Structure 1
């Protein structure tokens, strides 16, 4: 009798050859796309290695420069680098998120708005809080105004004044993380339950150290969760145990803040119901705006405990809210410190504000966000920084829908293909941004209205579509205020910027994780 194995083995071998070589190389709809690497059609190893070694953004950019607006990164992965038939189709066309997001960004084992792969669930969550992150709300908020006065005049400017008097250089990356953390935490939990990382250096250094220590190990959970799970069953942990312990510490920290905010709300309902800031006395407390909004919204049925649903959302807001804005401010201050003539131009514009942000002023009041937002050169400096130094320059992976969809003139791509775009590449289109590697804020001032509109279409620091960053208006308002306050009162000079170049990763701060500047008081 003919042995069955003699038939089965070659059949299985032929099937594997067809599935992993013949089909992806010659027959797949992706086979007509240019390959970023010769192996991209049959192996994901090239792009996985680029991600592991933090070379992804520049490698993808180089592939687009060579091959055009669409390239194949792996057997089932595509990158696009254009607006029409690119990001407009993918990010405004209902493509769901890749499972990379829940694998990396869930807290407490509970989904949050950013980690949700399903668009419907995301939309429901976004509707809970989008109104209090809107530009109109933030610019008219008495709570934000009260928080801003405390942060600028009670904390940040006194610290910078002391450093200037003592000729003491400061690590502005750490200081910016501290400032943005204090801002977002006060908005979430109320001033009375917030942090004071600006002044409390030991506490902020402990928190930031624990938060940042986990970053090198994110690759495995995001890209190869199956491998992590397999080895875990064998008793082998690819990521050290202390990474989970650090995450647990941070989750517990956030939960304690939630409990404090809940006590404020439940114990002082009348205190915040008609909150209005008065010029005569600065309130020691402010309503926990974000926490209160979520607490009210989550009274509807939820598959997860309400306290965990609130905490996972807040944990994401405070993480993203401090890190991205802190990175952006650092690169803005670095560029201004290299261009003293632009500091002067900016300061002349800032001195038109009323009330003045001068620390020497007796009023110690902040100008309205609308006035600050309307300053054209300040806006240009920030936009140019966000363009060339996007804090999140890396790919934003999505998955093609079940209905075959064409991108950038490709054959219709089947469902389940990983597709992404990245700010790093979009922001370096020389046709839209001439001399793209140069920091030139004047491009946002001197351009025609048509040119500004085109730059706006390609500007992707906050993403686009329904998944666009919900906190973008908060971030811009906060960064403009901090910048305006500093450069109204000080000039900055580089002391040590070694390692200032951005790492090549999804979230990209300085390679050295620091920037030392000297502050000099101006009259």
Structure 2
């Protein structure tokens, strides 16, 4: 056999063997049954290698799995698996699957770390070095981590979002900030804040570090060694490398940068131990670094290794503790080091690279998505504020750590961002156990096969994640949604891998993501500064495609102040009209206790919808009392008027918070009267903005609640001092009640009298006549033109109330015929509706419309008006007035000097027998036209609504909008009532929106009192069928009782509640004021009262207690609450004394008012 023949034979044999192997691999091996992602995958992996090099593999795999199923073949010996059962759970939760040699390229300092460890045992050793420093239990109880987050997030990051000008929108580069934040948080957690890099204070250094990190880990560094290891080694042996020289130098610089931290930290620890420096406080100790050193020392590493690397390193990125002005990092890398220090550096570098990739990327995309989705952002902000203690005038306080885990919107935002934009998108390569077959999908896979799953593909499985390329946090919320994947989303979530070799820092990452998002969106709102197409690029570790992502942040606290400033307009606290008015915004900023007092009130009102909020109310009250004690320190420099407001509100609402819920706000009146009586014990304080505010609040609450108070309750709290104070303040401009204090005071008297008559008391005809005369003669004082409609509406409301009440009892005397009374009452009701519809939308009195409007509605028969077509109704209005007044035989409008007839005829007594606490010399008596039919030709009651609108002008100029809706700048067509539906809609929207901002203080009163008015007076069919409004409308029941459809704001599901069931919702009982039966507690399974009752009584029904036992337990609860209330009142009165003792100092008083 010649040489030539031998060579040919060998070549033929080799070709045959090669052909057999290719044929066997392609068509005979167990992998032959698996569908191929590409036609060449049976023979070669070059196509997949090319896609990896071009960063296009993820999209290719997604399309392949969509076409061929959960298991596809990528090469002769490589599979991609995209399923849960017999999929990634089998691969990554079984220790038998070793890592691929690809992970060898993740070594740092020539040592294996947790990522690069191939064998499971080696990985376990590396994982033990971390100890419990990254466990859930440690993170949620670590004071060190809490201090690190508090200092880094609140002190360093938040000011960057707020900007140099407080309160104004600020544009910030969220990419640069989040990268700096990630490094500051991680380095502070490892080395302590004392040794942190503080990149947030030097963003340019953070950007240089990010460039250094990206340069040190290019795609080529991992691609060539893993895809073509032999070729890489061969070329390396002759001095050629696919890895750029700049990347090698950057990697060495990064190593030296970290070693500088280790050296500086060792020196700091030694200095603290020797007593040269102060001991570490919470957040300053290098807890995790010392954990690494102790764990490595226990492993018994003894041989020292010396790293000698020669390059140059910029010093701007390091903080070495060295006297050398420009330390070369040749010295840093050549310095002899222990194996323990090098091993610790390897682990820290491994974790640092993971942090710098994952944490900022997720936060950048989360903020960007929230800026583009206003609805989700609002829901997140509302959820965060309900669970946090962020407030005006206080240092920022992060929400409770455990509470953050219970916030569904926050969790959904984090999970959806990790699903769609998680940076770990590439394949996690594993090798099947040798010597046995493994079931993956529907295939038996032999040993030695490279298998992998990709978070990118798992998170875009269309059968689980509908519309997978859209950011929809709704898919992670508890309630069902079209995108929830039938509840399988959690099983397919794989952002941090799984099993023993999953991401060891996943709990820390989720913890910090929640903390940072909560800190931002409880304080700010964000929007895009410019429209950008932000997306991930890269296959294994993806990065945002843009280096700069600018968002515009507006302080949410500033928005809160902005709304409170609007509310101060609504409360008639306008300094341009009243020099004694309260700048409520200023006081909230200066008094943390005042904010907590208002929050306590809001939580107390929320009992009607969520009984658990009583605990929040008590907590807020306790916080307010604690802060008040601090504010009253003479050296605190706090504003005493602000402290007074806190004292007054706490004293007013203490009994409301701890008392029974069936009183419909009477405790407001009792508490206000008690605290005012206490304050009025000093005869010299009848003047001052603080007392003006207290009296104004009391008068308004009294007018709202007087009708529902039991006979004899309020006179017990009456004192001559408060009557005298009211007389002295008769014509001033007052908070809450504005110029209408006289009419509000009269309404309170009318309400108490009508309540006593309905309760069975003997009628007093002379008092009725006096009240009627006062109401008919009352005229608005000068200067309140913008409130003329509301005061006239309230006056008619009181007249309707007294006429209706007095006509329901036996009367000894001469009274008009029933038809005449009905005509007059309906005429008043029509005028109320017309007047309220004519109120300018810029009026600050719109929040007071509820009571007169609902009262008038109960008196309007459906055959006489049609508010569903308001424009037609206003055209009919003069005719209806004329028709209704025809039967009453009232004097014509041509006799304005003639006094209107009185419906109530007095018996022989004198007016002086009745003290109405209004002096005759202070009352402004005038001839009223209330009982007269309107003159269509008169300007006041013109058939054209354009003529009835007073000219609206801004209340004041300044940085804040004027009026409740701040629409001074709207076109003129929107400022006239030629669109009554729009007017009525605006009226009720304002009535709902604005009081919600102050805890429904002004909202619940009208609703509850209107319920009593309907229940006890009207008993008639309500013909008021409002247009469809958000959260509020009125319809009719079959039993001729009105139904109030109340839709709770900030809730996705509207809940309809009838007025009859409002008792059940608010107190858990059915009660009628006219009923002779004692009040009994009953459980109603079809209403929320059952749940509330269970919570109030400690879930007593679970032990099947009887109604009698429950009633007894309720009494015990109320007795205990009464004891606490008395004790709290004592504290509040003592605080009031302290306030006034300090106010006795003229200098202190002057400073407080200023």
TM range (shorter): over 0.9
| DSSP 3-state at the match of 1:254 | helix
Q: CA deviation at 1:519?
A: 1.4
Match of 1:256 among 257, 260, 263: 260
Distance of 1:55 and 1:261 partners within structure 2 = 43
Q: Quick one: structure 1 residues 68 and 39, their matched pair in 2 at CA, closer, same or farther if it must change by over 3 Å? A: same
- The residue aligned with 2:628 is none
Partner of residue 475, structure 2 = 443
| Equivalent in the alignment of 1:86 | 87
Q: Helix, strand or coil for the counterpart of 1:492?
A: strand
Cα distance between partner residues in 1 of 2:208 and 2:544: 19
Does the 8 A contact of 1:40 with 1:72 survive in 2? yes
How far residue 7 of structure 1 moved from its aligned partner, in angstroms, is 1.8
Question: Is the 8 Å Cα contact of residues 180 and 478 (structure 1) preserved in structure 2?
Answer: no
Does structure 1 residue 158 correspond to structure 2 residue 165? no
Q: Which residue, 241, 244, 247 being the options, matches 1:243?
A: 247
* 1:324-473 to 2 correspondences below 5 Å: 324-356=358-390, 360-447=392-479, 454-473=488-507
CA deviations on 1:472-516 (whole Å, 9 max, x unpaired) are 111111111111111112111112353412114111122223322
Q: Which position in structure 2 is the counterpart of 1:301?
A: 300
SS of aligned partner of 2:551: strand
Which digits, 9 at most, give the CA deviation of each residue in 1:161-205, with x for residues without a partner?
A: 116757553221221111111101100111111111112122111
Calculate the aligned-residue CA RMSD, in Å.
2.3
SS of aligned partner of 1:198? helix
Note closer, same or farther for the CA distance 1:469–1:452 as it changes in structure 2 (3 Å cut): farther
Equivalent in the alignment of 2:1024: none
The question of whether the paired residues in 1 share the 8 Å contact of 2:465 and 2:485 is answered with no
Counterpart for residue 521 of structure 1: 555
- CA shift at 1:290, angstroms? 1.3
Counterpart of 2:518?
A: 484
For residues 539 and 237 of structure 2, the distance between their equivalents in structure 1, rounded to whole angstroms, comes to 29
Match of 1:280 in 2: none
Residue pair 2:183, 2:355 contacting (<8 A) in 1 also? yes
- Taking the aligned partners of 2:406 and 2:388, their CA distance within structure 1 comes to 13
TM-fit CA distance, 1:351: 0.8
- Residue matched to 2:195: 193
Which stretch shows the higher mean deviation, 94-103 or 300-309?
300-309
Question: In the aligned structure 1, how far is the partner of 2:161 from the partner of 2:536?
Answer: 25
Tell me the residue number matched to 1:226: 230
8 Å CA contact 2:161–2:170 kept in 1: the answer is no
Give the conservation status (yes or no) of the 8 Å contact 1:376–1:445: yes
CA–CA distance in 1 between the matches of 2:130 and 2:93? 20
Contact 1:56–1:504, Cα closer than 8 Å, also in 2: no
Q: Distance in 2 between matches of 1:120 and 1:393?
A: 26
| Aligned 8 A contact 1:164 1:519 in 2 | no
Q: Which moved more, 1:189-198 or 1:295-304?
A: 295-304
Give distance in 2, aligned partners of 1:221 and 1:163.
49
CA drift of 1:269 comes to 4.3
Indicate the residue corresponding to 2:180 in structure 1.
Answer: 178
Distance 2:539 2:549 in 1: 19
Deviations 1:11-48 (A, max 9, x none): 122122222x2121112221111000000011111110
2:899 aligned partner: none
In 1, distance between residues paired with 2:146 and 2:413? 23
- Structure 2 distance, partners of 1:274, 1:453, is 51
What whole-Å deviation, never above 9, does each CA across 1:207-240 have from its counterpart, x for those lacking one? 1111112323232233333222222223222121
> Over residues 303-350 of structure 1, what are the superposed CA-to-partner deviations in whole Å (9 max), with x where a residue is unaligned?
772111110100011111122011011111111011112111111111
CA distance in structure 2 between the aligned counterparts of 1:128 and 1:54, rounded to whole angstroms: 34
Taking structure 1 as the reference length, the TM-score comes to 0.93
Long gaps (5+) in structure 1: 278-284
User: What's 2:49 paired with?
Assistant: 48
| 2:336 aligned partner | none
Q: What's the offset of the Cα at 1:371?
A: 1.8
| 1:494 lines up with 2:528 in the alignment | yes
Q: Say if 1:44 and 1:73, in contact at 8 Å, map to a contact too.
A: yes
CA distance in 2 between counterparts of 1:513 and 1:23 reads 49
Provide the C-alpha distance between the structure 2 equivalents of 1:228 and 1:361, rounded to a whole number of angstroms: 62
Aligned residue among 215, 219, 229 for 1:216: 219
Whether the aligned pair in 2 keeps the contact of 1:380 and 1:441 (CA below 8 Å) is yes
Counterpart contact for 1:41–1:75, Cα < 8 Å? yes
Q: Which moved more, 1:388-397 or 1:494-503?
A: 494-503
Quote how far apart the aligned CAs of 1:467 are: 1.1
- Whether the 8 Å CA contact 2:70–2:441 is kept in 1: the answer is no
What is the Cα deviation at residue 408 of structure 1?
2.8
Q: 1:45 to 1:468 in 2, by over 3 A?
A: same
C-alpha distance in 2 between matches for 1:364 and 1:270: 36
Tell me how far 1:274 sits from its aligned partner.
9.8
Aligned-partner Cα distance in 2 for 1:489–1:160: 10
Partner Cα distance (1:476, 1:125) in 2: 22
Larger radius of gyration: 2
Q: Which moved more, 1:320-329 or 1:261-270?
A: 261-270
Partner of 2:74: 73
Q: Determine the C-alpha separation between the residues in 2 that align with 1:66 and 1:124.
A: 42
CA 1:210/1:400 → structure 2, altered by over 3 Å: closer, same or farther? same
**More RCO (CA 8 Å, sep 6+):** 1
Q: 1:6 to 1:224 in 2, by over 3 A?
A: closer
Q: Aligned-pair distance for 1:61?
A: 1.0
Say if 2:160 and 2:172, in contact at 8 Å, map to a contact too: no
Partner SS state of residue 78, structure 1: strand
Does the C-alpha gap of structure 1 residues 92 and 164 become closer, same or farther in structure 2, counting only changes over 3 Å? farther
Partner residue in 1 for 2:206: 204
Does the CA contact (< 8 Å) of 1:189 and 1:287 recur in 2? yes
SS in 1 for 2:525: strand
Residues 267 and 499 of structure 1: CA distance in aligned 2, closer, same or farther (over 3 Å): same
Task: Flag the 1:167–1:193 CA change in 2: closer, same or farther, 3 A.
Answer: same
Counterpart-to-counterpart distance in 1, 2:210 and 2:34: 43
Residue in structure 2 matched with residue 28 of structure 1 by the alignment: 29
1:507 to 529, 541, 544: 541
TM-aligned CA distance change 1:167 to 1:447, over 3 Å = closer
In the alignment, what sits opposite 2:728? none
Q: Please give the secondary structure, in 2, of the residue aligned with 1:467.
A: coil
Q: CA deviation at 1:130?
A: 4.1
Where 1:169 maps in the other structure, the secondary structure is: strand
How many matched pairs? Answer: 512
Contact 2:85/2:441, CA 8 A, preserved across alignment: no
